[in-house]
Structure 1
Amino acid sequence: METIEVTSPGRDNQETGAGLDGAATALLDGRARICWWSRAASELLGWTGEQVTGKPARRLLASGPAAAPDGGTRRVRLRHSSGRLIEADVRLMEPQAPGATLVVAVPVSAPGGWEQDSALARSVLAQDDIAVVECDMHLRVVRSNAASDLLRPEGAREDWLVELPGTGIHGTVRDFMSRVADTGVPVLAAEYPFGEPGSDRMLSLTCIRIDGPRGVPLGVAMAAIEVTERHRAQQRLSSAYRRAFEIGGSLDVVHSARDLAAVLVPALGDLAFVDFPDAVLQGQDPELGYPGQEASAARRVAAQSADGIWPASLVQLGEPVPPIPARPETAVVAVGDVLVADADLSREILGQDPELIRRFMPEGMHGSLGCPLYHRGRFFGYASVYRTDNPLPFVDADIKLMQDLCGRTAQAIDHAFRFTREHRTAVVLQESLLPPAATESAAAETAGAYLPASGSVSVGGDWFDAFPLSSLRIALVVGDVIGHGLQATATMARLRTAVQTLADLDLPPDELLARLDDLVQRMESEAQEPGMVGASCLFAVYDPVTGLCQMASAGHPPPALVRPGGGVDYLPVVPGPMLGVGENPFEVLSVTLPVGSVLALYTDGLVRRGDGDGDGEAALLGALGRLAGADRPLDEMGVELMGSHPVQEYRDDDVTLLLARTRTVAEQDTATWEYPADPAAVHEARADVSAQLAAWGLEELMFATELIVSELVTNAIRYAGGPVALRLIRDRVLVCEVADPSNTQPRLRRALSTDEGGRGLFLIAQLATRWGCRYGARGKTLWTEQALVPSL
């Protein structure tokens, strides 16, 4: 085909040629009939050359004139072969051949047509802050603007943006540019590091595909903006919010203030402080409302500096804070808002007072943020942060961070106050429910020690007890209730009372634990939260006459025994299930203890070491072996065991210890007889008792004791048969025991004046200070106690 040269009035030929790339063209003869039709025109309007050759061009025109008087571009609507209309920019040109007209049509792809598109492209490429790179479909750089040269690292190639090695969520830069070129799906604001190794400089990259007028991909364009400062600010804020979770972890108000100051610097500024009212430092709940800085006595409890040096002119850590006069500028503080101030406003707030300015404004201050610590309408303190090295003003994100951090700190302080109140109440209640630390009896001397859980853990339900039983015996109890807080303390109180009540019935250890298990199951069924009631317990009974100790365990650690001649080990008691499980029997361990043995009962808090060493049981045995001595007071042993054991540093649970040093009743202080089921044996029993009391020098008890023995032996022979055993035990009281083979429980009743009998137990109750009945493996034992008159 012959080359046709065309010109357009008032246009540069080079510009015209550039504008024709990919355009639909047609050549008209002198009668405006189509004599040549380009392939691009066929693709645009759907008509082939054979279909339109020789036809008038106006048939393809749906609206608007076919020509512009000045030969410029005119927007028209053209008819597609399918019937739809296509809006296009049309330009008529005059070729050198006379009488002919060249028509160039470009479909409208954006408002403004050729001129505005070109202007937009020139404006984008002329940006100083936005680096723009245009690449072909093979990602070779076609052109770039001056801004890309300014961002280019020293020594980097021209295509350095395309070859950035950093990876993001879209992969490498070349990866996502290839996907954009293939799919046409743009990538927006992908962040990639660049610069020297170790640099934190960051670019935000946006990539789009460039399509020709007919939708043919021509290449890709990428715009890059440096967002280093924004990235640093985001990283700083993200780090601050992550560290905010550490605030208040200790449940200590001063520690929480220091946590806050450590987050404020360097997240928001170079210097930060926290002040607390005196009431908060004294553990008192603040009153509702904000008292005003001029009226609230405060003290600096935390101070943080970026360089580690707190300016000497400012209020120092631990010093009282000078009051600041109330001013309208500080009214926002009264409603919990953040006070944003520069140096000039700060001087105004301080009333231009040189001393206040020196105490509150660091040298070179550019700005400050101040925020009260408010929670539930209570003012817990005030925090402030300064910028001295950084001249940038605080932005909304900084203010929001300050509010969030101060709000979290105030909430942590309020939690610490509530925890402290509950912990103090639970400790007082727990200690008031425990028995005296030391006891003395004919059976043993005891010393108990209790340490509540510390730190962020509330008091648990550990308890110990040592109380006398019939016939000079002693009961030793240690228990551990599941859970912490007041609920655990209340459960402990109920269980301790139940143990004492059941022990007064002289039940054997296994039966007592079975009854206690029933009680815990009932408590569990009544609890609002199932699974929250349960306990372990060790119950032991020691008889000083025989030296026999019987014990049973409900899921509790075994006691340790220190023998008087040396040697320490754990007693092989078989632990049953914890209280509340039910349907499992408990086993009784019977062991004879030498006189002077030390029995150590404890809760698991004593042997569960917080350092991760699982050999706490061996450590306890070793400590007992070193500390136990014949003359070593038990209370001193308890203090050293509780104080020197590593658990002291990690008290996440209560620690309870009960030490008991066994005693025995001398053989000459007991007398035992056995009688047949013969009424005549009553007289013999009275005679034996009288003789024994005379030998002991207890003639003043002879009449009452003879009467008690007569009634008990008579009833045993009459209702239970024989044999009947009689035993007297002399200690601080005189114990009289009568055992028979019957399991029938005698009952105390008030006889009528006409009754011939029924007054025996009534008389015994009047003559004895205490009396009762206990059951053994076979039969029962009735016992009485009479106080001995001290000798003058």
Structure 2
Amino acid sequence: MDSPREERDAPPFVGSRDLLDASSDAAAVLSSEGVVLGWTPGAEALLGCPAAEVVGRPATRLLAMRVDPARAAGVAERCRSGMGWSGLVPVRHRDGRTLDVDLRVSAAFRIEGHECFLLSGRERRPQWAMGQSVLDGFLTRSPIGMAVLDPELRYVWLNDTLERFGGVPREQRLGHRLSELLPGLQATTIEGLMRKVLATREPVTEYEYLGWSWADPRRQRAFSTSFFPLVDAGDSVTGVCYMVADVTERWNARQRLSLVNESATRIGTTLDVLRTAQELADFAVPRFADFVVVDLLEPVLSTEDHGTWLGDSPQAPAGPVMRRAALRSVRDGSPEALAHIGDPVDFLPPAHGIDLLINGEPVLIPELDPQDALWLAEQPERTARISEFGLHSLISVPMRARRTALGLTTFARSLNPVSFQPDDVLLAEELVARAAVCVDNARRYTREHRAAVTLQRSLLPQALTGGTALEVASSYLPADASDGVGGDWFDVIPLSGARVGLVVGDVVGHGLAAAASMGRLRTAVQTLADMELPPDELLAHLDDLVLRLGDEESGSAVPRDSTATFVGATCLYAVYDPVTRRCSMARAGHPPPVVVAPDGRAWFAELPAGPPLGLGGMAFEATEIELAENSLLGLYTDGLIEGADQDVERGMARLRAALADPGADLATLCTATVQQLVPVPQSDDIALLLTRTHALGADHVVSWDVPVDPAAVADLRARAARQVAEWGYDELAVTTELIVSELVTNAIRYAEPPIRLRLLRDSRLTCEVADASSTAPRLRHARNTDEGGRGLFLVAQLAHRWGARHTGEGKIIWAEQEIPSDRSGRG
């Protein structure tokens, strides 16, 4: 070959540092005659010639130069001697271009007895050379601050960027240490890191810290610094180099994100409007501001529904009526504030009106000037406080949620010298938006809770009376605000024959739906009780009603998982008869009643549990017990006995112990028992109904057997009139005679013996006729031409009320008369 551009000795396959990586080299195998025997993909990629076009042909056709035979022979001889050869050779690409290739030829070797040579090479590309002026410009004008310090940590060199970061001129830095120049820039910590680098020779990268710059002393900056040891040719550490980048924006963004994430766990921990507003103020001070006030519109604090109050609302209030809901300052007592919590406020940053609350954007005042004429005119007292306490920057953010204006939150800085920036407005908006949703949730929940409690209390009996048969006391305690009102209820229902019906129940769930369901069940129980049904039959009818209600709601548009769906209830119904002192009761999945004898012995009545209402398919069983006079009977809901430990048996034992003093005043005992047993926290409604039994003595009840003879009616009528007169109710004698005459006559004509007449003197005068027939009479309106049929119609006109009830032996027809108020207390 002609003289190559570069030639050097090299052992086989060994050369410069580049030879160590031949993974991408082009390679070919040549015979001693210069014919290509092998062609690699790398060679094809380099010259663009596939193996089919090259193998078996002379290699000289690939060269872009004339081959000197003598020179080629010399290279061959060199390679046969085991030395190898390398040099720069121009070759021709398939597209006609000329490429300069660093070519290496291996020592000769043999394949199947033929002498061969391995050629490998790569294209030589021009290398960019950096001049000293370019390097100097990079070092001095780089956006990254750089410095070189000697082993004593004194400045030897620094670039312009670092000089600008610190605000200290280069001349003052050279020859001095960082701690001597910038003591407020964590100098001690930074010098400690540099000593560590000098000692260990290990670099420290991306150490971030906050500091103040002399160039901008009012704004704190964040820096990221990396430290590297400087090592000379003799492997000695001659100093340390560090590089500094201003990462203030990244640092602030990270801090803002951290604050937003933390606010999610610190704001809105309760369903209380004022508490949520205070949590916002407490969280922002001092993390974000030095002084924070939260002012809410009065309807928000009163939980009234004040509409949307947004820009598209056809009606908007003439002016904001707000009250201070929360307040927090870095100074004790918040002396910056003109108004305190609960006080009315009218603050809106000048020159903004109510539109700011409805659809306005946050207000940013980076530099708050107390001499501003507009502030002096509209907010003179606040301007004085601004000047007195050095409030220099302000952000006011309208608080809105779900298209509802709630109020205004204002952030201010005084001790913190850094003014609010536009990025701070984004953070303030995020904090206020989160708090606004929580405030609105609390407002809506409180309003619903109050409505549910009001509804439930209106559905509960306003005044309970057990007549002369029972002394009654009750207590109802709604659930805590965290769970809402439930569906507990109780009732005392006057029945015929001086009897009294007692009921207590608990609807599954909480809130308005449970309260409404409770009202429906209470009405149903009163209606069924008025039909004189025994306890087990009453619960069976009530169970059918709950099933029907559930089927109606599940088949309607109400989702199955809606809180409005009727899902079931428990109930206990009892009937006490003061004449026999017997109490018949049945329950549907409800706790059994507690009984306390006059001597203080307490136990729980044993009666079948029965399934909860709404399950269907199972029967209810009634149990009858006899109660001594002045016995205590307690009906309650499970919230009273579950307790904080959720142990029902222990709760029942506590209830039994709390009622162990049967002689105590009933109302006082009821209140004290609830206060003693209420769990903390209270997760369910609590209802307790206490009754003390009385008996009707012989002077209040008389009865006569009725012969099956129409002639006996006159005698029974006369006896009844005389008895009523003896009781002092002479004005009721005539009506009593008429009622007795009609009821006894009907029994003799249509009923089965034995027949018995009974008069009871209680809060009303009751006349009862019992017989062995199960057929109940029906009220008919007789026509003018009818001979009869006016008996029961006459009874209905004379009596306060009348009816029929079935017994195990037949039925009883009864009629009640009102006793004159001035005679009702006679005994």
State the TM-score, normalized to the length of structure 1.
0.72
In structure 2, what is the equivalent of residue 276 of structure 1? 296
Residue identity opposite 1:342 in structure 2: P
**1:624 paired residue number:** 659
How far 1:744 sits from its partner (Å)? 0.7
Cα 1:85/1:760, change in 2 over 3 Å: farther
Q: Distance in 2 between matches of 1:329 and 1:84?
A: 78
Q: Judging changes above 3 Å, is the alpha-carbon distance between structure 1 residues 131 and 583 closer, same or farther for their aligned structure 2 residues?
A: farther
1:244–1:592 Cα change, 3 Å? same
Deviation at 1:532, TM superposition (A): 3.1
> What is the CA-CA distance between 1:785 and the residue it aligns to?
1.8
In structure 2, how many angstroms separate the alpha carbons of the residues matched to 1:782 and 1:460?
Answer: 40
Distance 1:91 1:118 in 2: 29
CA contact (8 A) 2:26 2:43 kept: no
CA spacing shift, 1:705–1:55, aligned 2, 3 Å: closer
CA contact (8 A) 1:244 1:260 kept: no
Q: What SS does the aligned partner of 1:580 have?
A: coil
Assess, with a 3 A threshold, how the Cα gap between structure 1 residues 330 and 768 changes in structure 2: closer, same or farther. closer
Q: Residue in 2 aligned with 1:426?
A: 452
Give the superposition deviation at 1:750: 2.5
Task: Select the residue among 309, 322, 325 that pairs with 2:332.
Answer: 309
Report the counterpart of residue 615 of structure 2 in structure 1.
581
Deviations 1:644-688 (A, max 9, x none): 4433x5343332222222111012322233345455554554465
Which of residues 656, 678, 682 in structure 2 aligns to 1:646?
678
Could you say which residue in structure 1 is the equivalent of 2:63? Answer: 57
Change (3 A) 1:532 1:669: closer
d(CA) in 1 for partners of 2:352 and 2:511?
A: 46
Q: Corresponding residue for 1:257?
A: 277
Distance 2:531 2:316 in 1: 65
Letter in 2 for 1:412: C
Distance 2:774 2:355 in 1: 83
Contact 1:272–1:386 under 8 Å retained in 2: yes
* Partner in structure 1 of residue 481 of structure 2: 455
Q: Which residue of 2 aligns with 1:478?
A: 504
User: Residue in 2 aligned with 1:559?
Assistant: 593
2:304 and 2:447 in contact (8 A); partners too: no
Q: 2:257 pairs with 234, 237, 255, which one?
A: 237
Residues 466 and 494, structure 2, Cα contact 8 Å, conserved in 1:
no
Task: Check whether the contact 1:337–1:403 (CA below 8 A) recurs between aligned residues.
Answer: no
Alignment check: 8 A CA contact 2:493 2:529 kept: no
Cα distance 1:707–1:414, how it changes in 2: closer, same or farther (>3 A)?
Answer: same
The alignment partner of 1:385 has SS state of strand
Query: SS at the partner of 1:493?
Result: helix
**What's the CA shift for 1:491?**
1.9
CA contact (8 A) 1:88 1:105 kept: no
Indicate the SS of the match to 2:509: strand
Q: Secondary structure of 2:328's partner?
A: strand
Superposition map of 1:320-359 within 5 A: 321=345, 323=347, 326-327=350-351, 335-344=359-368, 348=372, 351=375, 355-359=381-385
Q: Per-residue CA shift, 1:717-757, capped at 9, x if unaligned?
A: 33232111222222333222211111111112123444443
Residue 757 of structure 2 corresponds to residue 726 of structure 1: yes
C-alpha spacing 1:720/1:354, structure 2 compared with 1 (3 Å)? closer
**1:416-565 alignment runs, 5 A limit:** 416-527=442-553, 528-530=558-560, 532-565=566-599
Unaligned runs of 5+ in 2: 8-15, 28-33, 67-88, 104-119, 148-157, 163-189, 211-221, 227-242
Q: Partner of 2:814 in structure 1?
A: 783
Say whether the 8 Å CA contact 1:749–1:758 is kept in structure 2.
Answer: yes
CA distance in 2, matches of 1:504, 1:87: 115
Local SS of the residue matching 2:643: coil
Cα 1:773–1:59 change in 2 (3 A) is farther
Distance 1:224 1:49 in 2: 58
Q: Does structure 2 retain, via aligned residues, the 8 Å contact 1:294–1:326?
A: no
Residue 711 to residue 609, structure 1, CA distance change in 2 (3 Å): same
Decide whether aligned partners of structure 1 residues 107 and 706 sit closer, same or farther in structure 2, where only a CA change above 3 A counts: farther
Letter in 1 for 2:410: S
Using the alignment, how far apart are the partners of 1:114 and 1:104 within structure 2? 21
| 2:773 pairs with one of 739, 742, 757 | 742
| 1:90-142 Cα shifts (integer Å, max 9, x gaps) | 799xxxxxxxxxx996466xxx854489999999999784999xxxxxxxxxx
Match of 2:800 among 760, 766, 769: 769
Query: Letter of the aligned partner of 2:812 in structure 1?
Result: T
Give the superposition deviation at 1:298. 4.2
For 1:466, give the aligned amino acid: V
User: 1:236 touches 1:267 (CA, 8 Å); kept in 2?
Assistant: no
Query: Which amino acid is 1:265 matched to?
Result: V
The alpha-carbon distance between structure 1 residues 699 and 378, as it changes in their structure 2 partners (threshold 3 A), is closer
Distance 1:192 1:313, change over 3 A: closer
Aligned AA (1:337): E
Find the residue that maps to 2:599 and give its secondary structure: coil
**Aligned to 1:764, what secondary structure does the other structure show?**
helix
Residue 502 of structure 1, CA deviation: 1.0
Contact 2:368 2:391 in 1 (8 A): no
**Alignment correspondent of 2:639:** 605
Match for residue 218 of structure 1? none
Is the contact made by 1:20 and 1:104 (CA closer than 8 Å) also made in structure 2?
no
Q: Residue 327 of structure 1: SS of its match in structure 2?
A: coil
- Shift of the alpha carbon at 1:469? 0.4
After superposition, residues 185-200 of structure 1 pair within 5 angstroms as none
**Distance in 2 between residues matched to 1:86 and 1:566, nearest whole Å:** 118
* Structure 1 gap segments, 5+ residues each: 8-16, 27-32, 61-75, 93-102, 133-144, 165-190, 196-200, 206-222
- CA 1:769–1:298 in structure 2 vs 1: closer, same or farther (change >3 Å)? closer
1:664 and 2:684 aligned: no
The letter of the residue matching 2:272 is D
How far is 1:566 from its partner? 0.8
**Residue aligning to 2:704:** 673
Report the alpha carbon displacement of residue 779 of structure 1 after superposing the two structures with TM: 0.9
Structure 1 residue 237: Cα displacement: 2.5
Letter in 2 for 1:674: D
Q: Which residue identity does 2:668 align to in structure 1?
A: E
Pairwise CA distance, 1:159:
6.3
Aligned residue runs from structure 1 range 353-368, under 5 A = 355-360=381-386, 363=389, 367-368=393-394
1:377/1:88 CA distance change after superposition, 3 Å = farther
Partner residue in 1 for 2:324: 300
Instruction: Provide the secondary structure at the position in 2 that maps to 1:625.
Output: coil
Following TM superposition, by how much is the alpha carbon of 1:709 offset from its aligned partner in structure 2, in angstroms? 3.0
Q: 1:508 to 1:87 in 2, by over 3 A?
A: farther
Partners of 2:486 and 2:514 within 8 A in 1: yes
2:745 is the alignment partner of 1:714 = yes
Mean CA deviation greater in 225-234 or 603-612: 225-234
Per-residue CA deviations over 1:206-230 (Å, capped at 9, x if unaligned) read: xxxxxxxxxxxxxxxxx99796984
Aligned residue in 2 for 1:141? none
Q: Report the CA distance between 1:331 and its aligned residue.
A: 8.3
Q: Contact 2:486/2:684 (CA < 8 Å) preserved in 1?
A: yes
**What's the CA shift string for 1:391-438, capped at 9, x where partnerless?**
555566543332122123223333333333333333333222222334
Structure 2 length-normalised TM: 0.69
Structure-2 change in CA distance of 1:376 and 1:699 (3 Å): closer
Asked whether the equivalents of residues 297 and 323 of structure 1 are also in contact (C-alpha less than 8 Å), the reply is no
2:236 maps to: none
Question: Could you tell me which amino acid in structure 1 is paired with residue 293 of structure 2?
Answer: F
